[in-house]
Structure 1
């Protein structure tokens, strides 16, 4: 399993340094009480009226995690009736959520409470929140557990317990209670948002997407929900989508600091530096580290002047010295970089920056560096190359897998490294650190080195990868690397990816084919099979799918892909059915597998079973796979159900217009036209 690329992780996630915490403040409803049905004050006494209102507030807290009406209403209720214990405790909960612990405690002091009777569950919740904000997590845990013990069906109690567990033990430990809160309050958007965000933190991104989608369905404009979606998109490396979610939150809550900062970070990650600067200017008053983010945007953009000006406004500390070191390397000043990095050498980023600067200045990499992580191993390898030791360099590179995305040494040999001159190895150190720290200037510096050393496959690969990352031309470098070392798998994969993105099927097919001869990578094999089908290279396509299944025999994707190919292209329905049924056992209800089984049934003449399978597939796809819907139309035609076929086909025709499916849709239209 590849080791995490620590420096890239540090540089990316320090932008997200405001650690996410599950939402506890709930959804602020701007219409709270404005449109509420009036109570019949003529038939109820003031105390009962007040009590009724506080109970409604408590129910909104319970069912929706909604604290929106408490600020104004609970205060008013207490003024009307100081003995309203529920209003008092709800206000204490709100103050604790707002981190105003002193005010929360004051509300619960015996002198303030007087003869009021405090509801036990809500009181335990308030005490848990107060202890949580004070950092006494064991006390908070005891109070939250008491709330759950008193009322195990209280969603907000489970939610608070989850937030305490999250702070003490991390997201995975909090999942059980987050999920329980969402189950108990199926219409509580905040609960689903918290559950989704916690799933994302724990690495369950698909389940997180489902939970957050549920939250959006309940309340599409709730900031808790939108912030969760934004963070999920950031974890999925989809910053443009994240920016949309953060922007929607700001449209509802213009002063939301998390959304403003999230938007700035997302735009920086998306390399939309102009809009990032505009956001930082507009929300400077609510983003506490706006100065640091301005410097980060300038560094990533390669704007040395703006970075220099911004660094002058930063406070002393790790972020400032890291920025200074990166700026110095951008300006090819290794001595200044070393001076900056040495001041933060106790941090992983500072230590690695010092190693890069030391190598550039003619020094050696420290002993044991290769054991510290993938990126450290990469610099250890260049340390060996700088000392003319390609054998040790190759061993170190083997530990550097995924130092940049996709990097691995498959197909690379000691002979490929023997041609790298020591001075070239040292020249690579600074630009490589720039690349790993996402700093601008890496791509042109690496290209310059590669062009000056046309037989250096590593320099050429890293130059191509850095260029591709920033959207600069890279295919010439990749072709050069493939000429130098055609057996270097990662180069062929990158070439295949380039041609695939450009819709150059033959080029992608040949590049992926060259890669597959050296390493059986599932993603490459799937694409190789699809391209083989497109180009009429059926033997190669089948071989690719079978190789995929050999590598991952329990993969429902591999099983279904081969099953579909055999059913459609090889006319082997028996093996196709066996594979598809096995796939369905691994992934029940999967639309693509049901589609395969439906098509096989249609080919076998079992029209009733075909319709059953294809209708289930279309339902599971939920409008996201028009090709499945066209298969269903085909089955309806065979079954003689022309009216249903026409009704099913009509909305599809417009959806597939000007797509590869239009020709088939037109052909089916002609078959159902009276």
Structure 2
């Protein structure tokens, strides 16, 4: 994470400067954007879209461009294209508040009402009031479409509670009342909206729609004319008016109305269908067919699950296909039927087919029905247990095998039971069952391999190697057992022995991929990158979609420091993975989060969860992605469910608890940790985190007891003393906390204990002097400690000693030239020292390393602004503001750049938002600028 030292960001070594042509492209893109914004403001959508696409050709990463393009496309009823742009902005890191409402509108326009409630980015919690109100109203319309009238009205009421005098909630109530045939209430809501805003076009439209639905067409026509007098481009009013004219047979009036409408929205299916009707009436079958084809072209790509929420769209496409003579294509839009597969004695084979096709639920349904008729079929029982495990239902799998063992003591039942217990986190019991299976039938290689894997997982390398050696003796022609021996030898640091094992597996079957991958891993460990590359390239020539090879290519790229290649290979591996193969997906999410690509990580996590919805690690990974996207309530729900469904393996429960604390759910974390400590009472990570939870729950005595327990278990480690310091700090006992931190640093001196002690010293004297002196003494002994140099620079900068801070950061950068945090702070220091020109290359290099971080963009933008490079500054600061609109420093910087560019109204808007904060670093400067703009 970036240090909160200064409100401006990171940077990198001067030798990595941004290419001149890249800067030129960005500047040109910024100019295209500014021109597009002016066109958008005067409703020239065609010109705006053209300029925005020109901007993207220069720089496809610009958030401002994607957002404005999405809004322009949405205004032209190109909802699918608009959705793409908003999602692209989210993947690039925009703050969701900036696109939540238009994205929801784009989804509803496509009939994707259910997605408005499913997508985490569209959760109203945590959004600013105005945005939350607008989103609640979109959700209300979506709930109404889904047939949930009560929920829809409740959402309208929630929105109205935010701002009762706003007309929007009353406008939104009208169609809800119309759908329920409550016309009096619909009229009342419309009248109330018009009292609040007499010339509100949408309120006028809703008032007109009541007459339309009631069949008072002449009244409706006059009312729609009134709407269009207020807003000539109101699409729904134009459509409704044109539809009435067609219904009344007024072709001479309908034709020009439709032509004008299609000029504004050339792909609107309803207008296209009305054109087909008019063409047919005048006997122009070619034009009618062309219009009908245009309807199907628009609606066919939309999934049926979405169109079913829009009866009009279903009917339109069904009728359009029917009119074109495409009866088979018309049928699914007019019917919905699902036929059940009958049960038969072939159910086991059928279940295997479904499982191979990744249709695990269907396979389980078939087997469950079969087992009701044949409950003693051991093969079906084992298959069912395997399916339950694949779906994450480990308790159900365990129960199945325990029941089977009561009927017959079969080795395969012990194996299946052991595997289900592993998945359920009951590691000790699992090992017992696998040992029973292996002893009862040594030919149960799967039991032996699972047992050895379990030992490796628990760090019991000697036990794992003993099982592997026994397997090799019993089954010397089985390459899998040689692979296991190789893995055990590698874990035991016997790399030469591991190579021999992998080569022996290849001698048995030269076509096997796994031994080759084992050898590649050994080559990577030995930093023989070219040899590993050659081996993996050869494997890919044989099968370019082999998931394991693609994954190893990612590991090789990481070892070589090739970040872009890591993501490319992980994405390829995830794409090639089957429904139950989640390793690549897990790794991809972790990598994207590491690279600060929160939006892309969430999408990858959704795909992962779609593959394994019941898998504990998949749920944990999804929660991490939700948190990275600030969906706290969604992450909380995910973690609560995961903790309840999990077994008793303590480490995943500790991981869940740590994330629950990040969601401000200490009660949930306490539940998870209690569960972990029930299984492993001396599990130090669980005890340590329980200390933190106890403090958060206001139980310092319990926290102190737990901290002392950690000290007893690990007397030579710093952890217990650090926890004890937290307890004293919570009790407002700074002297005792400081003493505990001194003890931690004495027992286990490290960068971590040094930094903790420095923070405490800074809090104690407020001058950072003692903290700086401590760091200086440490650095005389350990001059290559980068963290200490950074901490010293931070301390000096906080004290206002920017010249000394610059030297400390230089020392850190000599040791770690690409440390983004240090580069950021160094750029900030240069700005504080008045050397903005010197800060520019550092800021640009920071941007190359962290192109999505709003603070990085802010630093670079501010440095460019202070150096007189206005176009580049404006582009970067606009992007930064979209990613972090709550940051007053960024909004002040953008206001200054806007003011310099002559966009004073927009600058005032940004300053007003910034100055709502009570204090921030540049508040006085912001107030001074505000005075010049009055």
- Measured against the shorter chain, the TM-score band is 0.3 to 0.5
TM-score, with length taken from structure 1: 0.45
Q: Highest relative contact order (Cα 8 Å, sep 6+), 1 or 2?
A: 2
| Between structures 1 and 2, the one with greater helix share | 2
TM-score, with length taken from structure 2: 0.34
